[in-house]
């Protein structure tokens, strides 16, 4: 049974400077909700109550976001703003959220290794803090269901255009059932011509504790960082690993254009501003040449 989730959120967010000079990229909002809140909610809606967020220097606002805010609550109470009060209180109650700081920014693999003592001997879920997935059944729940059937690590993947494989970890393997692959090879950010497929690692993983020894044995890879993908490639020599194409749409908040697209698409889906935003966009698009 998967009971714990790990959310790495320690990166610098250099692609969003200057916005991320003094605030973490995971706190950049989609309309009024920080990205990391969507990610925590996905874990919670997938049945997880224990979440470890891996942070670093300058990320205190993430901790504050999920903590009680007594003054703010008192203020909302006094003003009779019940709906907002409940919203704010809900944030500190939705899960047991723990924090640990990564001492040096040494890559995703290194960040995950900080979870070793927290997860102990159990399989666990990993959600990248800068990726949102909009789906009917939460993406993490879909992967947990595959894990429960196959009892092996499962990596959430999606097909990407061939010219985009260089941005992702890419898996290669054979399809064993519709949407599920037995993984034979994994490469972090391959050149287009060297990629084993166009199945990109989408920022959601179910991992088993044996990944930690593999991380320990992983040398620096792309960007001189300890890559989780390289550690998973080592794990492949020891046990079966599967990739699963989940149902849902992935939004990458890690780059500026996709961030704007996410804001627009999720804005249109909202009940409060959606209808007006849709009208505005139609009118605006009509004026473009």
What residue ranges bind ligand G1P (CB under 6 A)?
Answer: 108, 128, 131, 168-169, 188, 200-201, 203, 227-229, 252, 254
Q: Which residue, 62 or 171, has its beta carbon nearer to ligand G1P?
A: 171
Pick between residue 37 and residue 252 the one whose CB is nearest to ligand G1P: 252
d(CA 157, CA 151): 18
The CB-of-57 to ligand G1P minimum distance in angstroms stands at: 18
Minimum separation from the CB atom of position 69 to ligand G1P (A)? 30
Kindly write down the DSSP assignment for every residue of 107-123, as one continuous string. Answer: -HHHHHHTTHHHHTTS-
Nearer to ligand G1P, 56 or 169 (CB): 169
User: Which CB, 20 or 229, lies closer to ligand G1P?
Assistant: 229
Q: Minimal distance in Å, beta carbon 205 to ligand G1P?
A: 9
Burial of 215 (0-12, 13-18, 19+ CB in 10 A): buried
**Pick 76 or 110: Cβ nearer ligand G1P:** 110
Q: Please state the closest distance from residue 189 (CB atom) to ligand G1P, in A.
A: 7
**CB of residue 188 vs ligand G1P: minimum separation in angstroms?**
6
Smallest distance from the beta carbon of 140 to ligand G1P, in angstroms? 15
Q: What is the DSSP string of 166-192?
A: GGSEEEEEEEEETTEEEEEEEEES--G
160 close to 189: Cβ distance less than 8 angstroms: no
Nearer to ligand G1P, 34 or 190 (CB): 190
Rounded distance, CA 73 to CA 75, Å? 5
What's the angle, vertex CA 84, arms to CA 78 and CA 88, rounded to 5? 100
Are 212 and 116 a contacting pair, CB within 8 Å? Answer: yes
| Phi, psi dihedral angles at 91 (to 5 degrees) | -60, -35
Question: Tokens for 253?
Answer: 């908040």
Q: Which is nearer to ligand G1P, 43 or 200 (CB)?
A: 200
Residue nearest ligand G1P by beta-carbon distance = 169
Query: Among 24, 29, 92, which residue's Cα sits nearest to residue 62?
Result: 24
Nearest to 223 by CA among 283, 139, 166: 166
Query: Nearest distance from residue 88's CB to ligand G1P, in Å?
Result: 30
């Amino acid at each position: 049974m998967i009971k714990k989730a790990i959310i790495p959120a320690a990166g610098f967010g250099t692609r969003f400077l200057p916005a991320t000079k003094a605030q973490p990229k995971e706190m950049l909002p989609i309309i009024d909700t920080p990205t990391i809140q969507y990610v925590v909610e996905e874990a919670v809606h997938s049945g997880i109550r224990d979440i470890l967020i891996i942070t670093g220097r300058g990320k205190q606002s993430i901790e504050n976001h999920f903590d009680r805010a007594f003054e703010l609550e008192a203020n909302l109470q006094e003003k009779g703003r019940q709906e907002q009060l409940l919203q704010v209180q809900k944030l500190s109650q939705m899960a047991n959220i723990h924090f640990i700081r990564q001492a040096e920014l040494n890559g995703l693999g290194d960040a995950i290794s900080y979870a070793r003592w927290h997860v102990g001997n159990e399989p666990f879920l990993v959600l990248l803090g800068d990726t949102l997935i909009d789906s009917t059944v939460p993406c993490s729940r879909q992967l947990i269901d595959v894990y429960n059937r196959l009892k092996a690590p499962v990596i959430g993947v999606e097909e990407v255009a061939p010219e985009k494989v260089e941005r992702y970890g890419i898996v290669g393997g054979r399809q064993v059932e519709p949407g599920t692959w037995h993984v034979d090879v994994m490469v972090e950010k391959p050149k287009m011509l060297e990629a084993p497929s166009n199945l990109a690692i989408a920022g959601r993983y179910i991992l088993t504790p044996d990944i930690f020894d593999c991380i320990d044995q992983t040398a620096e890879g792309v960007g001189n960082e300890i890559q989780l993908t390289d550690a998973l490639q080592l794990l492949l020599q020891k046990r079966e690993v599967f990739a699963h194409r989940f149902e849902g749409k992935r939004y990458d908040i890690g780059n500026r254009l996709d961030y704007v697209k996410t804001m627009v698409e999720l804005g249109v889906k909202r009940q409060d501003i959606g209808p007006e935003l849709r009208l505005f966009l139609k009118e605006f698009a009509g004026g473009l040449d």
